[in-house]
Amino acid sequence: MGSSEVGSTGAHTLKQYGVTKPISVAGPTETDLQRTAELEKFLVEAGLYESTEEAARREEVLGQLDLIVKSWVKQLTSQRGYTDQMVEEANAVLFTFGSYRLGVNGRGADIDTLCIGPSYVNREEDFFIILHEILSEREEVTELQPVPDAHVPVMKFKFNGISIDLLYASVSLLVVPEDLDISHGSVLYNVDEPTVRSLNGCRVADQILRLVPNVENFRTTLRCLKLWAKRRGVYSNVTGFLGGVNWALLVARVCQLYPNAVSSMLVSRFFRVYTQWRWPNPVMLCAIEEDELGFPVWDPRKNPRDRTHQMPIITPAYPCMNSSYNVSTSTLRVMNEQFQFGNRICEEIELNKASWNALFEPYHFFESYKNYLQVDIIATDSDDLRIWKGWVESRLRQLTLKIERDTSGMLQCHPYPSEYIDNSRRCGHSAFFMGLQRTQGLRIQEGQQQFDIRGTVDEFKHSVNMYMFWKPGMEIHVSHVRRKQIPSFVFPEGYRRPRPSKPINPQNSEKANTVEDEHDHGSSERKPKRKMSVEDDMKSSPGKRAFVSPTQLKSASPDLSNGSPCSKPEVLCGVIDGTPPSVSSSPGWQTPMALSDLDGSGGRSSTAYVKPKKSSEAPSGPSDQPVRSLKDSSDVNGNASSSNDMEDANLEPVVYKCSTATEPIPDKVEGLNQESEPVLQNGLVDELEKNAALGAVMKLHEGVNTESVQKPVMRLSLTTTA
């Protein structure tokens, strides 16, 4: 189901895209066309379009790669004793997917490619061993990195300087035709789930292009939103935000809701819609339909794990799955804040109070929090660093989930996707940062004064150090730094940008000083307090208990520092409490950081716990630790994981908002009717159909207790916000 003909007022017939009627079929005004021209000019100047020469280079690379895989299949066919005719007919075909197939790739972007071969050519040996050897012998191929145990097995490399992500799918055909139609369901017969996931990259891209009213408007809008997401730090599937296919699906849904809108209108409506979207209600381009092939599809009625998803964005090709289940409570909060920012700027643009430049203002991450976690990734050389960093980065999402779990959601973690490099180090180095703050509106109560996340960090490091391909020199350090201690290598100019001082209204000076006394712990007027260690604090006040992570505080992960030239004193994230810093009475540790600091403002000296290393400690490596492969985990390409990530984090199921419906709940996903709870509220009435709906009622699975699991109903208010 993609589109249908629906009746409208007058003699006209409108084509319905998606599962509901459009919100508005209004076309652009002259002002809208002018804003669209300005937006397109901005995108061109931002370098989002590749040159004709680069496009030709990509076509040439794809042509050469196509010849290589065809020769590879013919070679295998001959070696396995097939007839000369079979060898002559043996074939493999290349498909592209992702941004390249959608037509929104820019300068320097990689090319996602899928090789489809016959049934007798397998992935494990033929693709990852034989083809790998063939590619490794080509001088055009560099940085060849196979990832066979990933959720979506992939071979990553550069071909004449152009990055390639190559997947493989073996279909149930002896001869693969050159004009193979992968959109047909028969291509999924007798294949395993990794093959289905590999094929669906192309199938989803094709479905998206079929389900949008105007492909060119969709492409321009998607280019714009991808640039915006990167500038605002919310473009990264592997970190727990959204990747390319997620943004494409969100944009496509807005295109369906406003089928006649041009790009500038679609950008504005994008933020208006998703600012008011009631997550975890799903975004769907078409109905979710079962199929006789029996592959699992996203269905919170039947699958308990699907109920834990925070931001479901459902793929349109069978089997329909949630493409964004990496999103956590913390990353969803960050994205909602950024949607609010985008909506506010677009309103100003429509009032001619701002230009498009304002929408793409970079997010100042290092000015947004008082406290940060710094994750340093170290390896002896660039090749080891690339592999090691890919593994660690794929596990960073687990650190966010573990912090949410161990603090019962009272401590928010904002992972930032950007990578930072300290070029002054003598070895390979990469660093990632996470902002920390307490949950907004949290009242500090007795027994909730402190959060000790040292055990959480140790548990995370232990899981990272179980990397199957670990080598000596691969190290990871996690430290707590204050805003004023952010290292200079994270700033493009090499130094911190000065913060503008905020003028104080003389009439409110007394009130302003009071607020400063409450929140600015660096104030000289604040009365000093004696700082107690965790142990002293718990002894002196039995009712005041620390919020301690369930894992042991003593690290079970291998100590990789070893006094190497690249290492530094191990810095662990300590107790986060509600008292100001002073000299710690706990031997061997510095003072903990205060919970009251985690409100996103101010900054002062570091209070991380620093555990000094003893010279007598014997270095240890991960050789004596349990070995864990890349299998069932997020891969280095950011593909979603099939591991027990949610179980590890002990996430509570999401309760789906519902209303009492007077009619029987339908078996299939479809639009809401007038007797369901209103979906659109408070504003833009002139744009809305009386019974327009942006979501779907889904039938509960038989046997599910309807008192504990509610019916999912999309509720969306399109009221604009200031």
Contact predicate 315/660, CB 8 Å: no
Highest-confidence range of 16-20, 325-329, 554-558, 561-565, by mean pLDDT? 325-329
What's residue 3's pLDDT?
Answer: 53
The answer to whether residues 203 and 232 belong to one domain is no
What's residue 468's pLDDT?
Answer: 85
Report the alpha-carbon distance of residue 100 to residue 578 in Å, rounded.
50
In this structure, what are the phi and psi dihedrals at residue 233, rounded to the nearest 5 degrees? Answer: 75, 30
Contact predicate 30/83, CB 8 Å: no
Q: What is the DSSP letter of 365?
A: G
Whether the pLDDT of residue 63 is over 90: the answer is: yes
Q: Which of 322, 338, 359 is the last residue of a domain?
A: 359
Instruction: Match 């294949």 to its residue by tokens.
Output: 191
Q: Could you tell me the two tokens for 685?
A: 């009435």
Q: Evaluate whether residue 535 is within a structural domain.
A: no
Q: What is the DSSP letter of 26?
A: -
Whether the pLDDT of residue 298 is over 70: the answer is: yes
- Mean pLDDT computed over 497-516: 44
What's residue 267's pLDDT?
Answer: 97
Instruction: Match 């699907």 to its residue by tokens.
Output: 306
The answer to whether residues 70 and 191 belong to one domain is yes
CA separation, residue 230 to residues 244, 314, 335, 594, 649 (Å): 11, 22, 12, 31, 27
Q: Which residue has the higher pLDDT, 132 or 498?
A: 132
Q: Evaluate whether residue 499 is within a structural domain.
A: no
* Residues 117-136 pLDDT 10s: 999 999 999 999 999 999 99
Q: Evaluate whether residue 58 is within a structural domain.
A: yes
Whether the pLDDT of residue 534 is over 50: the answer is: no
Percent of the chain with pLDDT over 70: 65
Neighbouring C-beta atoms of residue 452, cutoff 10 Å: 21
The answer to whether residues 401 and 338 belong to one domain is no
Whether the pLDDT of residue 625 is over 90: the answer is: no
Whether the pLDDT of residue 547 is over 50: the answer is: no
Percent of the chain with pLDDT over 90: 51
What's residue 185's pLDDT?
Answer: 84
Whether the pLDDT of residue 331 is over 60: the answer is: yes
CATH code of the domain covering residue 321? 1.10.1410.10
In this structure, what are the phi and psi dihedrals at residue 135, rounded to the nearest 5 degrees? Answer: -65, -35
What's residue 663's pLDDT?
Answer: 32
What's residue 498's pLDDT?
Answer: 59
pLDDT band at 608 (very low <50, low <70, confident <90, very high): very low
* Residues 395-454 pLDDT 10s: 999 999 999 899 888 888 999 999 999 988 888 999 999 999 888 776 666 555 567 889
Residue of 574, 479, 486 lying closest to 531 (CA atoms): 574
* Residue 509 identity: S
Q: Which residue has the higher pLDDT, 403 or 18?
A: 403
Q: Which residue has the higher pLDDT, 721 or 370?
A: 370
Bridge partners, 681 (sequence order): 717
In this structure, what are the phi and psi dihedrals at residue 334, rounded to the nearest 5 degrees? Answer: -65, -45
* Residues 336-362 pLDDT 10s: 999 999 999 999 999 999 999 999 999
Q: Evaluate whether residue 545 is within a structural domain.
A: no
Contact predicate 278/716, CB 8 Å: yes
- Mean pLDDT computed over 235-247: 94
Q: Which residue has the higher pLDDT, 192 or 344?
A: 344
What's residue 496's pLDDT?
Answer: 62
The answer to whether residues 190 and 259 belong to one domain is no
CATH code of the domain covering residue 386? 3.30.70.590
At CA 36, angle to CA 35 and CA 38, rounded to 5? 65
- Mean pLDDT computed over 105-116: 91
* Residues 637-662 pLDDT 10s: 334 443 334 333 333 333 333 332 33
Q: What is the DSSP letter of 488?
A: G
Instruction: Match 């650190």 to its residue by tokens.
Output: 399
- Mean pLDDT computed over 38-57: 93
- Mean pLDDT computed over 71-94: 94
Report the alpha-carbon distance of residue 80 to residue 75 in Å, rounded.
9
Report the alpha-carbon distance of residue 42 to residue 159 in Å, rounded.
31
CA separation, residue 123 to residues 132, 286, 439, 641 (Å): 11, 32, 46, 19
Contact predicate 103/48, CB 8 Å: no
Report the alpha-carbon distance of residue 500 to residue 477 in Å, rounded.
33
What's residue 150's pLDDT?
Answer: 82
Whether the pLDDT of residue 306 is over 80: the answer is: yes
Q: Which of 332, 359, 386 is the last residue of a domain?
A: 359
What's residue 446's pLDDT?
Answer: 55
- Does the bond joining 319 to the residue before it have cis omega, within 30 degrees of 0? yes
Neighbouring C-beta atoms of residue 493, cutoff 10 Å: 7
- Mean pLDDT computed over 280-307: 89
Alpha-carbon dihedral sign for residues 50, 56, 60, 66: positive
To the nearest 10 degrees (0 to 180), the angle between helices 329-350 and 382-406 is 100
CATH code of the domain covering residue 85? 3.30.460.10
What's residue 294's pLDDT?
Answer: 81
Name the domain count of the chain. 3
Structural domain span for residue 405: 366-440+452-490
Whether the pLDDT of residue 274 is over 90: the answer is: yes
Whether the pLDDT of residue 722 is over 50: the answer is: no
The answer to whether residues 346 and 377 belong to one domain is no
Helical H segments across 232-367, by residue range: 244-257, 263-276, 329-350, 356-359
Cα end-to-end span (Å), the chain: 37
Q: Which residue has the higher pLDDT, 489 or 531?
A: 489
Report the alpha-carbon distance of residue 147 to residue 387 in Å, rounded.
10
What's residue 25's pLDDT?
Answer: 93
Q: Evaluate whether residue 286 is within a structural domain.
A: yes
* Residues 667-721 pLDDT 10s: 333 332 223 333 333 444 334 333 333 333 333 333 333 333 333 333 333 332 3
* Centroid of chain to Cα 150: 17
The answer to whether residues 409 and 351 belong to one domain is no
Report the alpha-carbon distance of residue 301 to residue 473 in Å, rounded.
48
Q: Give the chain's length.
A: 722
SS (H, E, C) 587-651: CCCCCCEEHHHCCCCCCCCCCCEECCCCCCCCCCCHHHCCCECCCCCCCCCCCCCCCCHHHHHCC
Contact predicate 1/286, CB 8 Å: yes
The answer to whether residues 239 and 270 belong to one domain is yes
Q: Evaluate whether residue 10 is within a structural domain.
A: no
Residues sharing a CB contact under 8 Å with residue 510, sequence separation 6 or more, in sequence order: none
The answer to whether residues 326 and 413 belong to one domain is no
What's residue 442's pLDDT?
Answer: 66
Q: Which of 328, 359, 390 is the last residue of a domain?
A: 359
- Mean pLDDT computed over 262-271: 97
Q: Evaluate whether residue 461 is within a structural domain.
A: yes
Q: What is the DSSP letter of 234?
A: -
The answer to whether residues 345 and 435 belong to one domain is no
- Mean pLDDT computed over 197-205: 93
The answer to whether residues 59 and 203 belong to one domain is yes
Report the alpha-carbon distance of residue 152 to residue 568 in Å, rounded.
36
- Mean pLDDT computed over 497-525: 41
What's residue 452's pLDDT?
Answer: 82
Q: Evaluate whether residue 266 is within a structural domain.
A: yes
Bridge partners, 117 (sequence order): 170
Bridge partners, 577 (sequence order): 594
Residues sharing a CB contact under 8 Å with residue 88, sequence separation 6 or more, in sequence order: none
The answer to whether residues 202 and 337 belong to one domain is no
Neighbouring C-beta atoms of residue 559, cutoff 10 Å: 18
The answer to whether residues 202 and 220 belong to one domain is no
Q: Which of 34-38, 211-215, 344-348, 517-521 has the lowest mean pLDDT?
A: 517-521
What's residue 522's pLDDT?
Answer: 34
- Mean pLDDT computed over 71-91: 94
- Mean pLDDT computed over 534-543: 38
The pTM (predicted TM-score) of the whole model is: 0.72
Contact predicate 113/58, CB 8 Å: no
The set of catalytic residues is: 99, 110, 112, 165, 226, 235
* Residue 669 identity: V
Average pLDDT, the chain: 74
Strands 162-170 and 154-159: antiparallel
